[in-house]
Amino acid sequence: MKINISETSNPHHGAYTRLHPVVASGRELEHEDPEAVIIGGMVLDIHATPSVHANPGTTTPGKVFYMQGGVARNVAECMSKLGAKPYMISALGFDMAGNLLLEQWKTTGLSKEGILKNKDIETPVVCNIFDVNGEVAAGVASVEALEKYLTPDWILRFKSTLLSAPVLMVDANLSGPSLEASCRMAADAGCPIWFEPVSVTKSRRISTIAK
């Protein structure tokens, strides 16, 4: 199974990704093809930056921003801005974070069919606190829902879409079984696979699958 692993300048968010031409099993990735399948995280990013040096145990003046994030979601949005129509498979809750992400997603004109929505899902949220120099001082990631709800069964519901895709992109927010099921299905169809590592720790999930 050939899997292409991307390089990112920011492994936590995948906000900037260098893409390279991909050729696998005799099939070349065509940038104009609208049916690429992307499986992974849709995340609400919260960035807090103090305007003065922070003191422990008290609040600090500064700015707090909400941003749409998630490695897979970022890639899908970038592709849509380049004229492609990728098919997103992800999971969101009916909470504030989920509603914000879904409303923004609707503005892209991309399909919502592959996005699992459930009242029991706690929409993935990542909160990063920066220092006055713009470096990450601390961060908390609550993204367990992606492993819990992006199951092989949910992904297999969209098998026909995946089998006709010119490329599959998966990020490392998926559980091991879901990652393997996605890659196996694509490999059996001769579909090139692009893997987004997300972070150093999560990148290891592909090690038992890629050969």
**Would you say residue 55 lies in a domain?**
no
Has residue 202 been placed in a domain?
yes
Kindly state whether residue 51 falls inside one of the protein's structural domains.
no
Q: Give the CA dihedral 82, 114, 124, 97, nearest 10 degrees.
A: 80
Residue 56 placed within a domain: no
**Measured between alpha carbons, how far is 93 from 84 in angstroms, rounded to an integer?**
26
pLDDT in 10s for each residue of the chain, 211 residues: 656 655 544 434 433 333 333 333 344 444 444 489 999 999 999 999 999 998 888 999 999 999 999 999 999 999 999 999 999 999 999 999 999 999 999 999 999 999 999 999 999 999 999 999 999 999 999 999 999 999 999 999 999 999 999 999 999 999 999 999 999 999 999 999 999 998 888 888 888 888 6
HEC profile for 187-207? HHCCCCEEEECCCHHHHHHHC
Range of 187's domain? 3-42+71-122+143-206
Q: How many separate domains does the chain show?
A: 1
The answer to whether residue 7 sits within a structural domain is yes
Q: Which of 173, 174, 165 is nearest to 193 (CA)?
A: 165
Name the pTM for this structure. Answer: 0.82
Which residues are 62's β-sheet partners? 50
In a domain, 61, yes or no: no
Domain-located, residue 10: yes
On whether residue 196 sits in a domain, the answer given is yes
CATH of the domain at 89: 3.40.1190.20
